[in-house]
Amino acid sequence: MAELRKTAIADVAAARISIRGYEITDIIGRVSFASAVYLILKGELPNEKQAVLFEAILVSVLDHGVSPPSTIAAVTVANTGAALNAAVAAGILAINKFHGGAIEDSMTAITEAATISDDPDEAASVFVSKSKALGRRIAGFGHRQHAADPRTDRLFELARELGLNGKCVLQAEAIEKALSESSGRLLPINADGAIAALLCDLEFPPTAANGIFMIARVPGLVAHVIEEQERNPPMRTVKMDEYEYDGPVNRQLDTA
């Protein structure tokens, strides 16, 4: 016997739609898109500071050029004449354990470390030793491309300004220190780890992490698919590992 499906996300009737209890007509024009995303994922709207930080997190992973596997998959499929949605879906299929998924693993690691002791440094030291003994890499530290990921500093700076650098951020910073001491080389928090710490302090569950990464990255995938179909002939052989940027450079925000 089929069960009646239950849902707590949206209520849709003839002349109204509500999201997590808010009428859609009440939030259109009053709540930012990122805050509405926060609402649908957490069930609650963010306060003003949380909203600013969540916008920043989404912006920080909006795009990473042509080299991530999600972009390669989307562009490869786009070049065969696929519809926009099919090419974007192929890109999303690449947002997995080893690409994007590090945020979830890093949230789990930071959360686990934080339960060891109330002192972040002590917790980090125990956690790093234990991981080393088990031969486990700690997700969210070190980066293939950016010696020091510029997004990490900016996100943490913003969190401090907003007073939102909570227990998880402190724990992540303590892990970075312990890891570097233990390994003798710099293993800085990367963007995955920084976002993990911030989402953890915003009290998102680790299971939402990959979803948040996807939400942030889909606009980048859409842009790459449209560009591929506008600029290139079908079925070309694409050199995936090299590219030339030919867009605008050195633009400044107009902050008058």
Residues 110-149 that bind its own copies (CB under 8 A): 144-148
Shortest distance, CB of residue 226 to its own copies, whole angstroms? 6
| CB-nearer residue toward its own copies: 65 or 129 | 65
Q: How distant, in Å, are the alpha carbons of 46, 67, 209 from that of 89?
A: 29, 17, 18
Q: How far is the CB of 166 from its own copies (least distance, A)?
A: 17
22 lies in the binding site for its own copies (CB under 8 A): yes
Cα 91 vs. chain centroid, distance in angstroms? 15
109, 114, 138, 158: which one binds its own copies (CB under 8 A): 158
The window from 8-16, 117-125, 130-138, 170-178 that contacts its own copies (CB under 8 A) reads 8-16
Q: Which of 84, 96, 76, 103 is nearest to 198 (CA)?
A: 103
Write out the two tokens for 119: 């002192």
Cβ proximity to its own copies, 124 vs 200, nearer residue: 200
Positive or negative, the CA dihedral 150, 153, 156, 159 is: negative
Stretch that binds its own copies, among 113-121, 122-130, 169-177, 242-250 (CB under 8 A): 242-250
Tokens of 247: 């867009």
- Per-position x/- string for 57-86, each x denoting binding to its own copies as judged by CB under 8 A, each - no binding: -xxx-xxxxxx-xx-xx--xx-xxxxxxxx
State the minimum distance, in angstroms, from the CB of residue 220 to its own copies: 6
Question: Is 138 exposed, middle or buried (CB count within 10 Å of its CB: 0-12, 13-18, 19+)?
Answer: buried
- How many degrees, rounded to 5, is the angle at CA 235 between CA 233 and CA 239? 90
State in angstroms the smallest separation of the CB of 119 from its own copies.
Answer: 30
Task: Give residues 204-223 in contact with its own copies (rule: CB under 8 A).
Answer: 207-208, 210-212, 214-216, 218-220, 222-223
Residue 149 Cβ vs its own copies, minimum distance, rounded to whole Å:
8
Q: Which one of the spans 109-117, 130-138, 152-160, 176-184 is the region binding its own copies (CB under 8 A)?
A: 152-160
Distance CA 79, CA 92 (A): 16
Burial of 44-80, coded b for 16+ CB within 10 Å and e otherwise, reads eebeeebbbbbbbbbebbeeeebebbbbbbbbbbbbe
User: Min. distance of Cβ 185 from its own copies in angstroms?
Assistant: 17
Residue 192 within binding range of its own copies, rule CB under 8 A: no
Among 118, 134, 163, 249, contact with its own copies (rule: CB under 8 A): 249
Whether the CB-CB separation of 83 and 52 falls below 8 Å is answered with no
Total number of residues that touch its own copies (CB under 8 A):
132
